[in-house]
Amino acid sequence: MSDNNLNEAQKRVGVYVCHCGGNISDVVDIKKIVDEISKYHSVVVARDYVFMCSSNGQSLIEDDIKNMGINRIVVAACMPSLHELTFRNAIQRAGLNPYLYEHINIREQVSWVHKDNPQGATSKAILLIKAGVEKVLMQDPLNAIRVNAEHRVLIIGGGISGMRAAVSSADNGIEVVIVEKEKKLGGKLNRDGYVYPSDEKAVDIVNKFSKKILSNPLIKVYTESEIINIGGYVGNFDIKIKKTDGDIDNIKAGSIIVATGFDHYMPYDGEYGYKKSDYVLRLKEFIELLSKSDGLEFVFKGKKINSIGFIHCVGSRQNEGIDAPQADGKVNEYCSRVCCTSGIYTMNKLKEKFPDVNVYDVYADIRTYGMESESLYEIASKHDVIFFRRPLDERPQITFEGDKIKITTTDILSFNERLEMEVDMLVLLTGMKPSEIDDISGYLKLSKSTNRFLQEVHPKLRPVEMNINGVFAAGTSLSPMDITESLQSAQTAAMKSAILLSNPDIPLDPFVAVVDEERCTGCGRCVEECLYSGAVTITEKTIDGNIKKVAYVNPAMCKGCGACVAVCSERAIDLNGSRLSQFEAMIDAIVKE
């Protein structure tokens, strides 16, 4: 920690301003920034580059550290969630402590929001960079805190994603605990009937996995069990599981994979005639009915079924003002991704079994994306399924006449003609909605997307990682997916969890509270204020031969909220990486000009 002892004159700041290929430089006057920042105190060098995040850009910084003795870095570029880590790594490669670095966001918070005021944007960028210089000058080198990690992963949910993640994790040598609320593993695949794209029985897929799981000594399965609390942190999560018999098991896990899946959208009474007639079924109900129906004729509840209508996008692709909102007042704007293919696959199954049944399909877009799905669509056309395309902002009307169900819709394919057709049965292609997991997301404080599915950190940079370190998500807990896509996502989550647990100890961010023992009077105000019992305590310590009461912070338990900092009258407790004095210095820089 010799860097702590550098005096002001020995601190040499390098400032690096990114053009982001025009994203920043089209609005902000980069040359002006560089000119002005070069003149600012302690700044030894200020440079700009078209893509600072590229290898070349990173090399600029690394070279300056090595050749010019730069020991404090400020990068002004895009939002830190994209590249803070990129630059930290570059700085570390050059031999400098990676935390002697401040990232200033001049894209999302400057150039993209002040397009109409380039001059204002430039002045703001300059002040923010100066504030960044002030902050980094007061920054101490920090070292990652290493915590021991349990070599065990908790998988919440025993559907296809959870089962896949369990097998992949166990194959990696990691102990697995699966918690499933139902009686057996398999989730939504525990049903009659077949699935695309493999044309297998759904339960056969479940059996493939349950065989592997039940025979694997590394995997422990809790069925009919419920998680009633999760505490702890990455490497050391504490989980309470309530079992069928009411007993509670406490287990520890190093990482968590949330594979809580989806629920079927449930139409409200009367939505497209649902519950108004026995002959209006959800797709899931229809698949089960079809798998049980045999013989020459399709008969249901005493009625021979000669014609069936299918309605797409029930509970998906909804519009405000057209569709009734969900319990939270919002409509499901998203596409559920699987219903087109699943529906058309089922129509083909129907036609194979009962070729004489007429099938009418009312859709907005047919989304049989990819290879196998598109060929299913083609097969459906060969089976003489008749397709009607409705306008995006219209919904088919369902009425009942005798024992017939009447569908009224506008059909674009026949040049916007208003059509009426009578069918014996109606199948609603209902979409997916996220499972009710407020308990789990509450224990773990997980972020959710606007569509209420879990929110990954970034769809491309970190697609299975949650906002909480050590927690991953897989499958339809993230968004609608089909089986193959769920498997991919589950394996990726298992990979990321395995990487995390591949070392016996996990490096953690060092942003925790620290105590200046010389200043501390041991008054205990910080202990009272602390939100995490045990994270800060008062201990006796021998300092310069005298026994003294001082505060002690347990870095693995401190979460770095800083509540203690605000109440210390001696300014003896502070937050690593976010010291109070650093923010005060930033404000001084902002008000200066």
Partner 1 sequence: MKEINIDVAVIGSGIAGLEASLDVADAGYKVALIEKSPSIGGRMISLSKVFPTLDCASCITTPKMAAVSHHPFINMMTYTEVREIKKNDDGFDLYAIKKPRYINEGECISCKKCEEVCPVYIEDDFEHELSPKKAISIPFTNAVPQLPVLDMNKCIRCGACARICPKDCIDYLQKAEEIHIKAHSVIISTGYDITPMNAKKEYNAISIPNVISPLQMERLLAPHGPYGKVIRPSDGKIPESIAYVQCAGSRDKSIGVPYCSRVCCMYAIKQAMLLSGSLPLADITIYYMDIRAFGKGYEEFYSEARAMGINFVKAKVARITADEKGSPVLRIEHQEEASKPKEIKHDLVVLSQGMIPAVRDFLGLDLEINEYGFVSSRDKTLNPSQTNIDGVFVCGVARGPKDIPDTIADAGSAAVSAVNYIKSIKGKSL
Partner 2 sequence: MQQNNKSKILIIATNHSSYPGANAVGQAHISYPSNTYIIRVPDPVMFPEDFYINSFKKGISGIIIMSSGSDCPYEGAYKRLSKRIENVYIKMKELNISTERLRLTTICTVCREAFIKEISDMERIVSK
Which listed range, 233-241, 320-328, 392-400, 572-580, lies at the site for partner 2 (CB under 8 A)? 572-580
Q: Which of 159, 311, 562, 572 forms a contact with partner 2 (CB under 8 A)?
A: 562
**384 interacts with, out of partner 1, partner 2, none, CB within 5 to 8 A per kind:** none
Q: Tell me: does residue 248 bind partner 2 (CB under 8 A).
A: no
Which listed range, 117-125, 302-310, 371-379, 486-494, lies at the site for partner 2 (CB under 8 A)? 117-125
Radius of gyration in angstroms for the set of CA atoms belonging to the chain, rounded to a whole number? 30
Q: Which of 79, 145, 203, 527 forms a contact with partner 2 (CB under 8 A)?
A: 79
How many residues interact with partner 2 (rule CB under 8 A)? 50
- The nearest distance, CB 9 to partner 1, in angstroms, is 33
**DSSP sequence for 373-438:** HHHHHHHHHHTTPEEEE--TT---EEEEETTEEEEEEEEGGGTSEEEEEEESEEEEEE-EEE---H
Q: Which of 11, 19, 83, 114 forms a contact with partner 2 (CB under 8 A)?
A: 114
Q: Tell me: does residue 479 bind partner 1 (CB under 8 A).
A: yes
- The nearest distance, CB 75 to partner 2, in angstroms, is 14
**Cα 253 to Cα 220: distance, rounded to the nearest angstrom:** 12
Q: Tell me: does residue 560 bind partner 2 (CB under 8 A).
A: yes
Q: Tell me: does residue 298 bind partner 1 (CB under 8 A).
A: no
CA torsion 309→313→315→320, rounded to 10°? -120
**Cα 101 to Cα 138: distance, rounded to the nearest angstrom:** 11
Q: Which of 31, 115, 183, 304 forms a contact with partner 2 (CB under 8 A)?
A: 115
- The nearest distance, CB 56 to partner 1, in angstroms, is 6
Q: Tell me: does residue 434 bind partner 2 (CB under 8 A).
A: no
401-440 residues in contact with partner 1 (CB under 8 A) are 412-413, 415-416
Backbone dihedral region for residue 135 (phi beyond 0: left; psi -120 to 50: alpha; all else: beta): alpha
Q: Tell me: does residue 556 bind partner 2 (CB under 8 A).
A: no
- The nearest distance, CB 83 to partner 1, in angstroms, is 6
**488 interacts with, out of partner 2, partner 1, none, CB within 5 to 8 A per kind:** partner 1
Q: Tell me: does residue 463 bind partner 1 (CB under 8 A).
A: yes
**72 interacts with, out of partner 2, partner 1, none, CB within 5 to 8 A per kind:** none
Angle, alpha carbons 526-532-533 (nearest 5°): 80
Q: Which of 478, 512, 526, 572 forms a contact with partner 1 (CB under 8 A)?
A: 478
**590 interacts with, out of partner 1, partner 2, none, CB within 5 to 8 A per kind:** partner 2
Q: Which of 54, 210, 306, 467 forms a contact with partner 2 (CB under 8 A)?
A: 467
72-111 residues in contact with partner 1 (CB under 8 A) are 78, 82-83, 85-86, 89-90, 93
Helices within 501-573 (DSSP H only): 525-529, 563-567
**Cα 291 to Cα 285: distance, rounded to the nearest angstrom:** 10
351-380 residues in contact with partner 1 (CB under 8 A) are 365-371, 373-375, 378
Q: Tell me: does residue 128 bind partner 2 (CB under 8 A).
A: yes
Residue labelled with tokens 């594979």:
259
CA torsion 573→577→581→584, rounded to 10°? -140
Closest by Cα among 360, 352, 410 to 385? 360
User: 261 or 273: whose CB is closer to partner 1?
Assistant: 261
Helices within 273-396 (DSSP H only): 283-292, 339-353, 372-382
The backbone torsions φ and ψ at residue 219, rounded to the nearest 5 degrees and listed phi first, read: -105, 125
**502 interacts with, out of partner 1, partner 2, none, CB within 5 to 8 A per kind:** partner 1
> Please, are residues 346 and 429 in contact by the beta-carbon 8 Å criterion?
no
Q: Tell me: does residue 70 bind partner 2 (CB under 8 A).
A: no
Helices (H) and strands (E) in the chain, counts: 14, 32
Helices 483-500, 160-171: axis angle to 10 degrees equals 40
> Please, are residues 34 and 14 in contact by the beta-carbon 8 Å criterion?
no
**Cα 18 to Cα 51: distance, rounded to the nearest angstrom:** 6
19-78 residues in contact with partner 1 (CB under 8 A) are 20-23, 26, 50-51, 53-56, 58, 78
- How many alpha carbons lie under 13 Å from residue 499 in its C-beta half-sphere? 9
Give the x-and-dash track for 513-532 against partner 2 (CB under 8 A). Answer: ----------------x-x-
Output the six-digit token pair for 225.
């069990």
Give the x-and-dash track for 26-65 against partner 2 (CB under 8 A). Answer: ----------------------------------------
Q: Tell me: does residue 488 bind partner 1 (CB under 8 A).
A: yes
- The nearest distance, CB 84 to partner 2, in angstroms, is 10
Output the six-digit token pair for 287.
């698949």
> Please, are residues 424 and 410 in contact by the beta-carbon 8 Å criterion?
no
What 3-state DSSP class applies to 298? coil
What 3-state DSSP class applies to 272? helix
Binding site for partner 2 (CB under 8 A): 79-81, 105, 107-110, 112-117, 119-121, 123-124, 127-128, 131, 445, 447, 450, 455, 467-468, 511, 529, 531, 559-563, 565-567, 575, 578, 580, 583-584, 586-588, 590-591, 593
